[in-house]
Structure 1
């Protein structure tokens, strides 16, 4: 192991150069204008993996290619997942440099790699590939049989993912899946994600009069959809921040005491977390810490609200319609389909006479993903990370949703372990995205140590 780690340290400049080459490819998956560049990124990865001994291919899908690579041998079979596509770069004028002209910059906390995809997810997936490279260079082989599964549509809803997984289930199914698309709970604190929140999306339109009405003629006797939708939205929460939809908390569980202890000892600074975005206090559900609110409690958020005249100046109308976009983050055993029924009933029960509601027909929802942290690999990985970072690694939750973790279980019947080295200030999906050089370097070393223990 010491020789593998020494090789990683020695070859770090070359590893950074390789990452820069991948970052220069504008593989924006959501915009058809960049389709050829997504294919180029897939081909770049195939060439790099083949150069170190994997048998890699770019597999076509109705959308962007999947990269599948196989290496090593033996009974033990590990799958690694990452994605090579990136988010759009708008607004471009807020970037300090060309997003696809990556560079190393010095900051108060150390050097960072600046560029779109540096953290999400090219820098992260390359930590695993570089760990494999060092294993092969030092030992002539990988420690076990390894499959790499690199997606090109993660940032655009993964429309090809489930069909591809089903069609190639025998090839992709392994003992465990490793995912590197997450962050550390605070800088320098290695973290393994034990649970991810699910997601429910919905949208409704509240209809009132047949047409927009003159407020001089109907102001007073007329029903105003904006006023009525505001009443309904205000009814979603009580004064403590608790969601007031009947049955909303069905399937929600309290955090076990030992896990809560790990979270409290993780080094997370609640004040810094809030102050960094301009808050002076938490505005969430009373009685729960910020970490509990973010990782272990469900939410109902208003993401968009509009209606009536939106242009310059004034237009004195009662609008015919008002619109609302909603998302719910789900935890535990919450059922998105069941919750959708309860949420819609809550709205419909509060409609006044002469109002009606229509709902979006594009149903989106996925349950929370809870990892099987009792598996031996979680403790083995926790020890490996603790050794590398010289600090106790922690099992954490995540406020976001990474559907692939659940798909590995529901589609392929396999458990997943999520380990990432991003920091909360990496500005993923935003201008001036970055990835700490320390995250990249120690991420490579971490995967090498993890492979040594779980292979």
Structure 2
């Protein structure tokens, strides 16, 4: 049962929910698409909006320039004793295409009734504007009641997460002393299911590649040259088709070297919390599991590496028909990696796999679009247990230790550069359509997310008081 200190802040969060929601809608209206140079000014506007909100909490906040989009950094000038916390999020969003599939303009957010809940719709509502605001609004509620934050809390928000974070590592290295803390909270992950909160401790890494094949010196008439000259699109499809074996496993020799089986205690935990595999697939219009035969959907999403073709192009792609034999074809492919796999090594193996299958008169070129190693967070860390307890208290269901199929390279950078472990708490649901048209964030996720962080702040307050008592005790004095 939360003490009165926490209860007062929870009551404030409930009272202020309407204003919190209005702030989220204002934030989502800013089209901060980091991959599109036409929105460079919008990205700065989003950064300035965030800096202003943090300043309204009495924090020393600043928009810090980088070679790309700016960072937002804020610190509490009060310097409260206790745990030192950094909170991370990103204000940039994905592109909105295909625009015609949106029910309404993506940067004109709406509140939509959805049975027993409501949805906040718009690009970035879930990833990551709604998520990061849950923590800011929790701090607002706490400070409105108690006049100060319960611990030494700093903020770091970037504007390039959706475009590979090219400015992030140099920024962390240049500001190592300023940003190093005891722990970093990251709110860019998912719930276990619609009603069960989770802390993510397993993150897959990634390797994004584009391969381009060239055959003839120009596109040719399919009737006059078909069968006689290699078709680049057909060749590309043949090679990509060989990347999976009949059992669904990835067929690149050496690809699974270093991959370890799922730890028994994690496997037991996942089995103890219900997961509706059929329902998970049905939500996206699927019914037959893909990937490696004999492995559950959950294991394949969180604990096994994967390969996907994200886009393929070549030949005539316009309206109608053109009898053409394509001379050039390309594909963008994604590998998701697990602990024990080296993305640089796998890049070499993939490129070797492709080039070994080329006819003598064909050529291949490659481009890389980022890579990161997988990350595993120790589940017995000092901040994990208290966070699990607070989530369980708020949601009324046992919080889970989960994995995620996505990649959050920043978590590895925090550990390598700043020496900090991360606590990844998110309130997104699997049907939030992140990166897709009609992205949404459930109002219950936003509300309970704010309240969850209020409870976490309460635990930080307890830690701070405990540290103060130890320092003032005679034993400590001696």
Cα deviation, residue 411, structure 1: 2.0
What is the correspondence of 1:16-35 to structure 2 with a 5 Å cutoff? 16-35=21-40
Number of aligned pairs? Answer: 454
What is the correspondence of 1:278-297 to structure 2 with a 5 Å cutoff? 278-297=285-304
Partner of 2:205: 198
The superposition leaves residues 372-393 of structure 1 with CA deviations (integer Å, 9 ceiling, x where unpaired) of 3221211111111111111010
The superposition leaves residues 59-103 of structure 1 with CA deviations (integer Å, 9 ceiling, x where unpaired) of 122222211111142142100001122223334443333433333
Partner of 1:397: 403
Matched, 1:95 2:102: yes
The superposition leaves residues 104-153 of structure 1 with CA deviations (integer Å, 9 ceiling, x where unpaired) of 22112412222322211111111111111222222222111000111122
The superposition leaves residues 389-443 of structure 1 with CA deviations (integer Å, 9 ceiling, x where unpaired) of 1101001111111111111112222111110111112222233222111111111
**Residues 174 and 318 of structure 1: CA distance in aligned 2, closer, same or farther (over 3 Å):** same
1:76–1:175 CA contact under 8 A, matched in 2: yes
2:164–2:370 CA contact under 8 A, matched in 1: no
Matched, 1:441 2:438: no
Partner of 2:307: 300
Partner of 2:476: none
CA distance in 1, matches of 2:424, 2:449: 13
Partner of 1:177: 184
Cα deviation, residue 317, structure 1: 4.5
CA distance in 2, matches of 1:323, 1:97: 33
Partner of 2:467: none
1:186–1:266 CA contact under 8 A, matched in 2: no
What is the correspondence of 1:42-61 to structure 2 with a 5 Å cutoff? 42-61=47-66
The superposition leaves residues 193-248 of structure 1 with CA deviations (integer Å, 9 ceiling, x where unpaired) of 11111111222233333344444554444333333333322221111101111000
CA distance in 2, matches of 1:128, 1:6: 16
Partner of 1:388: 394
CA distance in 2, matches of 1:53, 1:120: 26
SS at match of 1:376: coil
**Residues 317 and 114 of structure 1: CA distance in aligned 2, closer, same or farther (over 3 Å):** closer
How well do the aligned residues superpose, as a CA RMSD in angstroms? 2.1
Q: Which runs of 5+ in 2 are unaligned?
A: 1-5, 464-478
TM-score (normalised: structure 1): 0.93
CA distance in 1, matches of 2:226, 2:122: 53
